[in-house]
């Protein structure tokens, strides 16, 4: 009996004759047929979280959409100063203050000395008709409730 190391063995690829299976009775008749399953297969779909994403160039914006975006990209003011410089936005802010007073949304009172007031912020939105024309300028005065401390 001789001892040898595995590394001493020369590895030669195994050669199997083409007719080996036929000679030994191991012929598989389904090898030449395409694989079919009798089990029903469900339709594969993307997960719901990915349905809003589009890959490819099928939905590239048209020139008209790009021009439309460029024209209306800076229509809505971000700061009070921007809105105050336009008479349409000043009118919208006046209407909002009038609605607040009419509906008695707030009651002005003196603030106790140990309390801090909650700030407010103007939110501006341009409303459009279905045809794309400007319907109205809408301004809302909202409280910064996220700054409240319990």
Residue 113 · residue 95 · CB < 8 Å: no
Q: Quickly tell me which residue has 């009118």 as its tokens.
A: 91
pTM above 0.75, yes or no: no
SS3 126: strand
The chain-wide mean pLDDT, for the chain, equals 76
Closest Cα to residue 105, out of 137, 143, 136, 139?
143
pLDDT (tens digit, 0 to 9) for every residue of the chain, 150 residues total?
445 554 555 555 566 666 655 565 555 555 555 566 788 888 887 777 777 766 656 566 677 777 766 666 667 888 999 999 999 999 999 999 999 999 998 888 899 988 888 889 999 999 888 887 888 999 999 988 777 776
In a domain, 23, yes or no: no
Closest Cα to residue 139, out of 90, 82, 86?
90
Boundaries of domain holding 95: 76-106+118-150
In a domain, 145, yes or no: yes
Q: Quickly tell me which residue has 């203050």 as its tokens.
A: 97
In a domain, 133, yes or no: yes
In a domain, 59, yes or no: no
Alpha carbons 139 and 93: distance in angstroms, whole number: 5
Alpha carbons 139 and 83: distance in angstroms, whole number: 9
* Angle (CA) 66 87 76, round 5°: 30
In a domain, 136, yes or no: yes
Work out how many domains the chain is built from and give that number: 1
126 backbone dihedrals φ, ψ, rounded to 5°: -95, 125
């Amino acid at each position: 009996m001789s001892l040898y190391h595995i590394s001493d063995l020369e590895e030669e690829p195994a050669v199997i004759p083409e007719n080996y299976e036929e000679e030994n009775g191991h012929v598989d008749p389904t090898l030449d047929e395409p694989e079919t399953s009798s089990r029903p297969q469900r339709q594969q779909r993307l997960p719901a979280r990915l349905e809003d994403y589009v890959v490819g160039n099928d939905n590239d914006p048209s020139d008209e959409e790009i021009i439309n975006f460029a024209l209306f990209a800076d229509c809505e003011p971000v700061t009070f100063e921007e809105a105050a410089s336009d008479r349409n936005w000043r009118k919208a802010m006046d209407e909002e203050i009038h609605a607040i007073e009419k509906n008695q949304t707030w009651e002005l009172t003196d603030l106790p000395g140990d309390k801090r007031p909650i700030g407010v912020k103007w939110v501006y939105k341009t409303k459009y008709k279905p045809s794309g024309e400007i319907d109205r300028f809408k301004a809302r005065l909202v409280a910064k409730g996220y700054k409240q401390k319990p």
